[in-house]
Amino acid sequence: MERVPVTKENFIQILVDYAEWKYSDEIKNSINECTWDLEFESDEFVYKQLLFWFIFERINPVTGKTILDEFIEFISKDANNRVLISNLLGMREIVSDTFKIIDRKKDNMIVLKGLSNQKKYMVKILPEQIEQYTPGRFVMAKIFRWENYYRFAGITKIKVYNNNKNFQGIITPEMVEQIQDYFEKKHVKDAESIIISRRSTLSGMLNKFPYWWIDGISASLLLNKKGKKKEKVKRIVKILVNSQCLNDLINNTLTKESQQALFSIKERGGIVKYKEIIMKYTDDTNLTWEKDPPNSPIGLLRRHGLVIVGRMLINNRFYKVILIPKEILEKLSF
């Protein structure tokens, strides 16, 4: 690959070129693994979204790194890229949410407010797209920090959900609750689409969770919620892999029905198809575990990090399953 000077103006294109140059076939073959929304009419949009997921989140099984991390190592050989690399590191922390557009500023900046955490973000967009981002609209998107502002990762959706129809336009106040319900269900569906296996580690799966679920687990386990997501995950794992803490949690916090559900999954090797387990045990899982904690038998297990819901390849087909992480499974004493 010809070495081209990497700048803040061309870094995205060079990152894309790097991924396509090195992993062209793997990108196309990874569509069944992708956990980002691929529901687009345009094949071009589907491919671009798949490509950005492949770059930002897909772990290379050979290197154990994302393409972004490989790219950072690739350009770090040039000392002139030191400042650029510090900005690229901010791309590791993706914020995924439905945002309300609060304001438009000069220099192609817009102000977004996340529905799940009520935080505000200054986001820079392309000049030719500025008219699409009208204050009052909602945007389903992923963003990453760059310098002192944020930028979009992948394809964004400016959508309104009303009377079972999707359309673009200005959102009126009476539509907000319906829109939030639509996007909440969409985010939950995306979060339950992570690829897992018997070999998946507890920390690896938790790091794929949206941060509001991590905060919900932290709150349920009475843990400190300060710090980055990876720091919170480490604290969660430390509790759940401790045999004494784990048994106290199961015996003193779970309901009898939750204990029975956990035992049922354990008895079947730690993995059960999701549709089979919810035929007997209910799951009221939502998006905001901290504000609205799930208390159903399965919901209680999930918000304490004891089970993970995701997609698993079984006989050449992906199924939605519920799994007890191997670190927890081996310590269960009942």
Q: What is the CATH number of the domain that holds 125?
A: 2.40.50.140
Residue 136: HSE in the Cβ half-sphere, 13 Å Cα cutoff: 10
Same domain membership, residue 319 and residue 251: yes
Sign of CA dihedral 235, 237, 243, 249: positive
Same domain membership, residue 172 and residue 198: no
* pLDDT over 70 (residue 231): yes
In 10 A of CB 50, how many CB atoms? 21
Same domain membership, residue 235 and residue 152: no
Maximum C-alpha span of the chain: 62
pLDDT of residue 4: 61
Q: Residue 107: which region, alpha, beta or left (left: phi > 0; alpha: psi -120 to 50)?
A: left
Tell me whether residue 320 is in a domain.
yes
Tell me whether residue 2 is in a domain.
no
In terms of C-beta density within 10 A (0-12 exposed, 13-18 middle, 19 or more buried), how is residue 233 classed? Answer: buried
* For residues 91-105, average pLDDT: 88
- pLDDT tens sequence across 17-73: 889 988 988 898 888 788 888 887 788 888 888 999 999 988 888 888 899 998 888
Tell me whether residue 4 is in a domain.
no
Same domain membership, residue 317 and residue 237: yes
pLDDT of residue 265: 97
Tell me whether residue 3 is in a domain.
no
Residue 42: HSE in the Cβ half-sphere, 13 Å Cα cutoff: 7
Share of the chain above pLDDT 90, in %: 39
Q: Which amino acid is at 243?
A: S
Same domain membership, residue 212 and residue 136: no
What token pair was written down for 148? 């002192």
Q: What is the DSSP string of 234-255?
A: HHHHHHHT-HHHHHHHHHHTS-
Q: Which helix (H) or strand (E) holds 140?
A: strand 138-146
| Strand ranges across the sheet with 271-273 | 271-273, 317-323, 308-314
> If you ran DSSP here, which 8-state letter would residue 94 be given?
-
Same domain membership, residue 306 and residue 241: yes
The last residue of a domain, from among 92, 112, 147:
92
Q: Are 254 and 305 in contact (CB under 8 A)?
A: no
The last residue of a domain, from among 92, 115, 147:
92
Alpha-carbon distance 36 to 52, whole Å?
9
- pLDDT tens sequence across 129-175: 888 888 888 888 899 988 889 999 888 888 644 444 444 444 444 45
What token pair was written down for 317? 């087909």
3-13 as b/e: b if 16+ CB within 10 A: eeebeeeebee
In terms of C-beta density within 10 A (0-12 exposed, 13-18 middle, 19 or more buried), how is residue 70 classed? Answer: middle
Task: State which residues form the domain around 121.
Answer: 95-188
Locus of tokens 């300060």: 226
Tell me whether residue 57 is in a domain.
yes
Locus of tokens 């040039």: 78
The count of structural domains within the chain is 3
pLDDT of residue 314: 85
Same domain membership, residue 55 and residue 136: no
Report CA 221 to chain centroid distance, whole Å: 21
* pLDDT over 80 (residue 243): yes
pLDDT of residue 159: 60
Q: Which helix (H) or strand (E) holds 31?
A: none
Q: Are 254 and 236 in contact (CB under 8 A)?
A: no
Instruction: Return the C-alpha torsion angle 31, 212, 114, 36, nearest 10.
Output: 0
pLDDT of residue 210: 85
Alpha-carbon distance 123 to 110, whole Å?
5
Same domain membership, residue 273 and residue 147: no
Same domain membership, residue 202 and residue 184: no
Same domain membership, residue 64 and residue 180: no
Residue 95's nearest CA partner among 48, 59, 168, 144 is 144
Please indicate, yes or no, whether the overall pTM of this predicted structure exceeds 0.85: no
Tell me whether residue 250 is in a domain.
yes
Same domain membership, residue 180 and residue 245: no
The last residue of a domain, from among 165, 188, 211:
188
Same domain membership, residue 32 and residue 43: yes
Q: Residue 277: which region, alpha, beta or left (left: phi > 0; alpha: psi -120 to 50)?
A: alpha
Q: Are 70 and 60 in contact (CB under 8 A)?
A: yes
Tell me whether residue 6 is in a domain.
no
